[in-house]
Amino acid sequence: MKIGIVGCAGRMGRMLVQTVLVCESANLSGGTEHSGSNALGSDLGALVGLEPTGLMVSDDARALFSASDVVIDFTTPMASVFHAGLAAETGTALVIGTTGMGADEITRLSDAAAAACIVQAGNMSVGVNLLSGLVEQVSAILGADYDIEVVEMHHRHKVDAPSGTALMLGEAAAAGRGVHLDAVSQRVRDGHTGPRNSGDIGFATLRGGDVVGDHSVIFAGEGERLELTHKAASRSIFANGAIRAALWTKGRAAGLYSMKQVLGFD
């Protein structure tokens, strides 16, 4: 399959380029960056410290979609929505690992998915998606007698909070209880807050250093506490999951899919 990378000069973009170049089941079709990027015109292989490929970083996303079977996007919510529109126009599959997506962006992705195969997830890691499935099951089994807290830590450069993965885990916990996360989410505690509301799903956000991503879901009951944790040591796990999702889209009908469907959990 011909795989293109948008945002190819970013931290995740470079990791994705590197991963595609060594993947036996795929060929790199190109990479794009925003206008004005210092990476424009650079050879994609040289950009990631590998042999030159003859493919240069461009700012023409539409041309990249036309030249690709599937495009992988770890950019920003606004850019991802734009790229979803290009996917719908060209019929090219799209894999989105962008975090910080809101309800409006998800709705627009769903609209674009009427004409293209789109896989969207707050985290592309196989382990994290397995954790999400476990969280939903545990939440359903333990019930409302156990308080749920989601704790996450990322590097100092991360701009959104809570992380997309933390929100995904919160959604899984809420689904296990048969409630909507928006109705029970508690994201800020400061000052004299009073006692914890029964049924709330709390979030705690930590930032510092070069932490790739740590997530824990804590079920705190009377006399015992259960903690489910995932720690990412390298961004390669996200790139590997995204490539797996990209290969999965081959021959897939238009629609908005999740990593659970890619991995066969759903």
Domains of the chain: 2-120+235-263 (3.40.50.720), 126-232 (3.30.360.10)
The residue length of the chain stands at: 266
Percentage with pLDDT > 70 across the chain: 100
From 84, 57, 51, 18, select the one nearest 243 (Cα to Cα). 18
Helix 164-177 / helix 126-142 crossing angle, nearest 10 deg: 30
Active-site position among 83, 154, 215, 230: 154
Task: Report pLDDT for 102.
Answer: 86
Q: Is the pLDDT of residue 250 over 90?
A: yes
Task: Report pLDDT for 175.
Answer: 96
Q: Which long-range contacts (CB under 8 A, 24 or more apart) does 136-142 make?
A: 136/172, 136/173, 136/175, 136/176, 137/176, 138/176, 138/217, 138/219, 138/226, 138/228, 139/172, 139/173, 139/174, 139/175, 139/176, 139/177, 139/219, 140/176, 140/177, 141/176, 142/219, 142/221, 142/226
Task: Report how far residue 112's alpha carbon sits from residue 91's, in angstroms, rounded to the nearest whole number.
Answer: 10
76-112: pLDDT as tens digits: 999 999 999 999 999 999 999 998 888 899 999 999 9
From 84, 85, 154, select the one nearest 120 (Cα to Cα). 84
> Which whole number is the average pLDDT over 177-204?
95
158-170: pLDDT as tens digits: 988 999 889 999 9
Active-site position among 2, 34, 158, 260: 158
Q: Is the pLDDT of residue 266 over 80?
A: no
Does the annotation mark 180 as catalytic?
A: no
Query: Encoding tokens for residue 152?
Result: 């996450």
56-67: pLDDT as tens digits: 999 999 999 999
Average pLDDT, the chain: 95
Question: Could you check whether the bond before residue 162 is cis, i.e. omega within 30 degrees of 0?
Answer: yes
194-220: pLDDT as tens digits: 999 999 999 999 999 999 999 999 999
Does the annotation mark 231 as catalytic?
A: no
Query: Encoding tokens for residue 23?
Result: 């993947």
Task: Report pLDDT for 101.
Answer: 85
